[in-house]
């Protein structure tokens, strides 16, 4: 029974490895981490293929189609930054300390529209910070 379980488990692992290895050929995690407005403006050009877009931008968050059944890719990234400081200075006289923190968020949305030949026909983006 234990041997049979190990064989089934190894077989399942092998199937998963093969299943995901086909999907990873276009995925670029380094591109996901470095997605910026400047990168979208500088590197995404009308006429690029979808494979070239993935090389630059990584995998999109959303893939949909427009009213003419052409693909539209959306990259939607949110980053949060948090900074905190400890203050002891004069508060040490009173036996305490003070902490302050600030938190900010930035969003970036890049929308890439493709033509019927899977070539970029339009690029739009929006960024905000709060």
Where do the structural domains in the chain lie, given as residue ranges? Answer: 26-83+99-130
Kindly give the confidence (pLDDT) of every residue in the chain, 130 residues in length, as a single tens digit, with 9 standing for 90 and above: 544 444 444 444 444 444 444 444 444 444 445 678 888 899 999 999 999 999 999 999 999 999 999 999 999 988 888 877 665 555 555 555 567 778 888 899 999 999 999 999 999 999 888 8
pTM for this prediction? 0.60
Q: Closest by alpha carbon to 125, among 103, 101, 109? A: 109
Q: CA–CA distance from 105 to each of 10, 27, 78, 129 (Å)?
A: 43, 26, 7, 6
The listed CATH number (1.10.10.10, 3.40.640.10, 3.40.50.300, 3.30.1450.10) that belongs to domain 26-83+99-130: 3.30.1450.10
pLDDT of residue 71: 98
Task: Tell me how far apart the alpha carbons of residues 75 and 94 are, in angstroms, rounded to a whole number.
Answer: 51
């Amino acid at each position: 029974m234990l041997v049979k379980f190990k064989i089934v488990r190894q077989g399942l692992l092998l199937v998963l490895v093969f299943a995901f290895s086909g999907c990873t050929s276009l995925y670029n995690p380094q591109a996901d981490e470095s997605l910026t407005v400047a990168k979208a403006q500088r590197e995404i050009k009308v006429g690029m293929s979808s494979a070239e877009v993935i090389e630059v931008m990584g995998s999109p968050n959303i893939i949909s189609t427009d009213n003419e059944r052409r693909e539209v890719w959306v990259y939607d990234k949110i980053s949060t930054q948090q900074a905190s400081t400890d203050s002891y200075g004069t508060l040490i006289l009173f036996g305490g300390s003070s902490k302050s923190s600030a938190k900010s968020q930035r969003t970036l949305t890049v929308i890439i529209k493709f033509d019927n030949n899977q070539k970029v026909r339009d690029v739009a983006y929006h960024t905000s910070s709060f």
